[in-house]
Structure formats: C-alpha cells, structure tokens
A and B are shown apart, each in its own frame.
Chain A
Amino acid sequence: MSFLLKYKQLEEKCEIPNENYTIRDLLDEMELSPQTVVSKQNGELVIEDTVIEDGDEIQLVQIIYGG
C-alpha cells in the first residue's frame, strides 16, 4: 500500500502507514501547516481530511511562504 508524493522538486513513493491515513496526517509528519499548502489527490483539489488510498498521487502546493 503506497502513494506517490509530489512536493516542490520532491517526487517520492511513500508507504501508507495505517488505515484512514489522511493528508492532514501526512502534513503533520512533514511538519507543514495546512494553512500554507493546498493538496491535490490524483490532480484534483481536496481538503486535508481526505484519506490517502493505495496508488494515489498526492501533490502538495505551498501557497504561503513566511513574511
């Protein structure tokens, strides 16, 4: 069970650690604030409570930078 993570230059295959693993959980692990990024699941915008499924492509777009 894995997904493809795209963030800035990073493109990495990641394991889904547990059931009902959400984008919010992923952001927590990456220490990213949901306030500063928007998330896409398989190319479509989604909210952070979305559960990541096997084979998903998850893209995180940073929209707010400090200052």
Chain B
Amino acid sequence: MQCSKCGNPKVIYKREQSGQLLCQDCFIESIEKKVIKTIKNEKLLDKGDKVLVALSGGKDSVTTLEILNSFRKMQVIDICAVTVDEGIANYRQEGVDIAKRHAERLGIEHKVVSLKEDYGITLDEIMEKENHRGSCTYCGVFRRTIINKAAREMGATKIATGHNLDDEVQAIMMNYLEGNTGNLTKLGAKTESKAEEFTVKIKPLREIPEREIGLYVVAKDLEVHFDSCPYAMQSFRGEVSEVINQLAEKHPTIKYSTLRGYDKIKNTLKKEMQKEYAHGRCKRCGEPASNELCKACFFLEELGL
C-alpha cells in the first residue's frame, strides 16, 4: 500500500469516494488545494478584502482560519475574527480559549462577544424557560446577528464560516424535507444579501467532508476544541445527518452528488422562490427586519426580556 500521489508507504487516509490513498503531506496538500480551488472557482475573495472569520475554536473554523491565513500571508486579504460565547456551561469556554490562542498566534484582531453581554441571557438560561423553541433556533439567530454586527464594527467586507460538505448537504436536505423553499435559495458557497447591513458570507470548506477536516487538524497538529454541544442531539439536523451518513456507507459519493444537484438547480430556485428582501428596520434594535421586530428581538420579547 502506498500514497497514490507520491508513493510514500505511510498512508494515513483512503478516500472512499475515489479509492485514492494519501500520505500525511499529500493529504494536507490535497485539502488546502481543494479549498483554494473553491475560493477561486466561486470567486469567494477579492484582493483587499477584510475577512471576518467566525471562529468557535472547533475544527471547521480553525481550518478556515488556517487556510485563509495563506491568502493573508500573500497580502491578498486581511483577517479578523469573532467568537460567540453562547453561555453553555462546561462546553464553550474551552473553545473560546483556543480561539484566543489562534488569534494571538497569527496576530489577528479578535473579539469575543457573549449572549449574556449582548442580550442579558445565556443559552443555558433560555433552556430553563418553559416556553423555549429549542436551543438551535436561538443559537442560530442570535449568533448570526452578533456576527453580522461584529462584521460591521470591525469593517469586514466578508464573513467566512466553517460550513463543511456535511453541513451544506444537511442544510439542503433539511430545508427540502421541511418544504422550506425560502431557506433553500439562501445556500451556496457565497451568499449576498440586498441589504447593505448584511456582509457577504463565504464558505471556503463547502466541498470538504467533515471527517477530512477532522483528520486535517490532527495531521497539522492544530489545537481545536473537539467536543459535542450538549444540545446537539435535540436537533432535526442530527437526525438528518444520521440518515445521510448511513446512505453514504453504501454510496460514498452521495454527499457530493447532493451538493452538485443542488448547485445545478440553485439559480432556478432563486429566480422562482427567493422572497423579496425586507426593507424595514427592527423597531427595537434597528437591524434589518421583515416585520416590526427582527427575529432576535422577537425571540427576546417572547422570552420576556
């Protein structure tokens, strides 16, 4: 057995979808090349961009930071980072500390924003309330609002998130299964909103399977927070992920074919299904909103805050 690329007998990975065998160096190179290819093909970066990395300290965001940093070294872009502390006991702090260390190591501007400071409540406290809507609903909405605000405050022109192939395929299938055609139009490598308050979002890892990102950080010896969010198992996403992974065992290319299929119909979907953008402003916080309140403020009022 030897590396399909260089012949090194120390193979660390077999790509199920292609049968390719890779040694450590060739594996690392293949991931970096593939991400750079996505960035170029999808035109994710422009020279002079200031990219805000949503940095949780987990494997996906640390990999995003690591690979985007190669563009920073070549002085193509500048990078800053934000870490959201949702207030999840015995889980989030380690990620926050790791994120801080990566930002220091690379010498990039970094800020940590907590739900408690911004909204006066932690996710744990929300989950103690009787009328809550499930952890992921709040986490997603509050985190998105905080990251958007941080991008404006830090002068970022793009927001990079660590969404990987598995995340993207789960989102495609979840939205399809729920009949959520509005959200289905918003996926993709680059999402731009008509509202200028929303910074363009990019997903450089969109074509990398989650497992390969895990192996990449171990192979590169990058410090990351490997742990499970205590609320993760309550999610519909978890159920969808399980089904897709079961299918992938017998059909190793299924995640890529789902992604490619979606990409083929995306433009048609957008033309037919995209909702007109809300031009209103939230009366409570001033953020873009389709109703009187933005989603974050609607949830806050519902929670009695």
Q: Does A47 contact B (CB under 8 A)?
A: yes
Residues of B within 8 A of A62 (CB): 226
How many residues on the B side are at the interface (Cβ–Cβ under 8 A)? Answer: 29
Q: Which A residue sits closest to B229, measured CB to CB?
A: A67
Instruction: State whether A65 touches B228 (Cβ < 8 A).
Output: yes
> Which B residues have a C-beta under 8 Å from some C-beta of A?
10-14, 21, 24, 59, 210-211, 213-215, 217-219, 226-229, 231-233, 235, 237-238, 241-242, 245
Q: Give the chain B neighbours of A47 by CB distance below 8 A.
A: 11-14, 21
When distances are taken between beta carbons in the complex, the residues of chain A under 8 Å from B218 are 38, 45, 61, 63
Q: Provided the pairs A35-B245, A46-B12 are in contact, do residues A63 and B24 lie with their beta carbons within 8 angstroms?
A: no
Which label, helix, strand, loop or mixed, suits the secondary structure of the A interface? loop
Sorted nearest first, the 8 A-B pairs with minimum C-beta distance are: A67-B232, A63-B214, A65-B228, A45-B12, A67-B238, A38-B215, A38-B218, A67-B235
Identify 16 residue pairs between A and B in the complex whose beta-carbon atoms are under 8 Å apart, listed by A's number. A44-B10, A45-B24, A45-B219, A46-B10, A47-B11, A47-B21, A63-B213, A63-B226, A65-B228, A65-B229, A66-B228, A66-B233, A66-B238, A67-B229, A67-B231, A67-B237
A65: contacting residue among B12, B24, B213, B226, CB under 8 A: B226
Give every chain B residue within 8 A of A63 (Cβ-Cβ). 59, 211, 213-215, 217-218, 226
Closest to A61 in B: B218
Q: Which one of A38, A61, A65 lies within 8 Å of B232 (CB-CB)?
A: A65
Binding site for B on A (CB under 8 A): 35-36, 38, 44-47, 49, 61-67
By a CB distance below 8 angstroms, the chain B residues around A64 are: 210-211, 214
With a cutoff of 8 Å between Cβ atoms, the chain B residues found around residue A49 in the complex are 14
Report B-chain residues with C-beta under 8 Å of the C-beta of A61.
218, 226
Q: Which residue of A lies closest to B166 (CB)?
A: A64
A-B contact number at CB 8 A: 57
| Separation of A65 and B217 alpha carbons in the complex (Å) | 15
Question: In the complex, what distance in Å separates the CA atom of A38 from the CA atom of B224?
Answer: 14
Contacts A61-B226, A63-B217, A65-B226 known; 9 new A-B pairs at CB < 8 A: A45-B219, A46-B10, A61-B218, A63-B59, A63-B214, A63-B226, A65-B228, A66-B241, A66-B242
A35: which B residues are within 8 A, CB to CB? 211, 245
Return B227 CB to nearest CB of chain A, in Å: 7
Chain B residues lying within 8 Å of A45, measured Cβ to Cβ, are 12-13, 24, 215, 218-219
Inside 8 A of B214's CB, which chain A residues have their CB? Answer: 38, 63-64
Within the assembled complex, what's the spacing in Å between the Cα atoms of A49 and B12? 10
Task: Look across to chain A and name the residue whose beta carbon is closest to the beta carbon of B238.
Answer: A67
Contact of B233 with A67 in the complex, beta carbons under 8 Å: yes
Bound CA span A47–B13, Å: 6
CB nearest to A44 among chain B residues: B10
Q: Which residue of B lies closest to A40 (CB)?
A: B218
CA distance A47 to B23 in the complex (A): 10
Most buried by B among A35, A46, A67: A67
- Shortest Cβ gap from B37 to chain A (Å): 23
